[in-house]
A and B are shown apart, each in its own frame.
Chain A
C-alpha cells in the first residue's frame, strides 16, 4: 500500500494547498522521466484491436525531427546523458525532502502495519524479485494490459487507461468493473468504447481550434464526441507531451471535457514524429513503474533498470543486479535496517531542516525584554545593555528584569523570579536539552557515516596489502580473511549508523536498555576490528593478527546479528514505541 500512497501524495498535497494561497512561485521542476533506450511505436493491429508498446529499432531514429534538437532525451550517440539521470535522482531526492504532512500521515499508517512485519533481505537468486530492463518493463506492461483486456473484453487502449486510474491494481479494477461499470468509467474519465466510428460526419464542418472549414473525414476525436481536425490534434498532443510533459493523462482539448485521450488516438496522430512518440512511451512506462506497487526504479544514479517484486511489497532489501546498489524496496533509500522507512524519513527531514538552528538560538541566546532582539552573551558581567540603538534598555542577564532595582548589589535578582522569567528559563532548558540530545545522536550517526566512507579507502589499501602478502609466500586463500573482515566492518558500520536513527526516536523502556547494550557491544567490537585493520600488517605479524582479526570479525558479525535480531523481534512483538 505504501508505495501507492506515496506516489499520489503529490496530488493530495496539491489539493490541500488549494485552500491556503492563491499562488506559489513557479519553479522548474526536475523531470521525473528517466531516460530509456528507445521504445517504439504502438502498433495498432486492427484485427484484434490490440495496442502494444514495443522497442524501437535503431533505424527508427531516422525520423528524428525538429524536437530532437530541443530535447536531449537520449540520442543514439549517448542514450543515457548523465545529467538527465541526475535529474531523476534529484527528483527522487526532492521527493524525500518535500515531505508533506499527508505523506507522513500516510506512511505513518503503513509504518504501523509494517512494524508487524519484519524486514527481510532478498538476495538476487532468491527469486523474490527480478530486475527488468526498460524493454522488459514495457513487455511486462503490455502483457499485463493484454491479460486484463481479455478478461474484461475491452480494447487494450481503454484497459490501459482504466488500469492506470487504479494504479495498476487489477483486483481493484475488476472489483469495480463488476460492481458498477458505469461509475467506474465515469471516475476513470473514460467512455466505454462503442462500435461507432471515431471519424467526423461526412458533411463539412468547422474545427473549433483552427476555425477552418474542413471535410468531415479530416476530423478525429476520442469517444467523448468532440471532434477536431488532425492538424490541431497533432499540435495539441505535441504541445502537451513536449512542452507540458503530460503523458499519462491527456484530456480531450474541448473546454471542460475531462475525458482522457487513449493511446490509439495519440499514436495515430503523433506516431510519425519519433521524438514525440518516444517521449510519450517513456512517460507511459515511467508512470507504470511508479504507480505499480510491486515495481520501483532502481534508485542508482544512471541505472535504468526496474525492480519487480514477486512477493507482496513489504519492508524488503533488494539488490539491483545491474548496478549492485542495495536499497530498501519501500522507500528506495539505502538499506536502513533497523530504522524503519518512516523513522529514516523523519530523521532525514530533521537533519535537512532548520529546526536545530532554532533550537540552538533558543538554547544559547536570550531576547532583550524590551525590544526582543536576540542577544548572545559572549562575556562580561550580567548587567546587559541592549545594543539596539532604538532600545538601549539595561537589564539583568540572569532574571531578564530591568537593571535599575538591582542597584549595586546586583546578585539579588533571585527576588525577581517571576513566573515569566522562570518560564523563559524552563523553555531554554528544554531547547538546550533537545539540542544536546539531537547532537548526541547526530554526531554518532555522522561518525559512522564518515567512517563508512573512509573505509572504502581502507578497502583499497587492504586489497593492496593482500597482494603484498601473497608475494610473502602466503596463498590467496590465506589472505581472504582480510577481505571478509572489511566486509563485516562495513556492514557493522552501516547497521550502527542506522541504530542511532532508530534510537533517536525510540521511547524509553526495558527493551530499549537491552538494545543499547547490544549497540554498545557492537560499537566496541566494531571499533576494535577497525583498529586491527588499520594497523600495519606485515609478513612477520600477520599470523598473530590473522587470528585476532578473524575472531573479532566473527564476534562483530555475531553481535550485529544479535542486535538486528533483537530489533526485529521487537517489531514483531510491538516493543518499540517511537516519538515521532
Chain B
C-alpha cells in the first residue's frame, strides 16, 4: 500500500499570503501527527489564510475533524480564514453528520476559496 497521507503545499506571494494544502489519502489517528505538524509549520511562518483541497481524501475519521476545529480556532485567533474546498464523499458525509457547514467555509473550487479569503481580507480592512 502507498503512503497513507500525502500533503502538497502551494503558497501564494500575496499579502497576506495564502497556503493551499492538497490532501490525499487517509486522515485518521495514525496520520494525525503528520497532518498537524505540516499545518503548524505553515502557521509558524505566519500564514493564517488556509485552503484545504479535500477532493482526494479517501477516508477521514473523527480524529481529523477534531483537529480541523483546532486549526480553525488557531487561524481565527490571527484573523485568518480556513476554507474547505472540493469535499470528497467521506469529508462531506461527516460534515453532514456533524453539521459543520455552519462553522466552516466550503467551496467547490480553489478560485471560489481564494475569493472567500479576499472577501475576508477586505471585510477586515485589508490587514
Q: Do A and B bind each other?
A: no
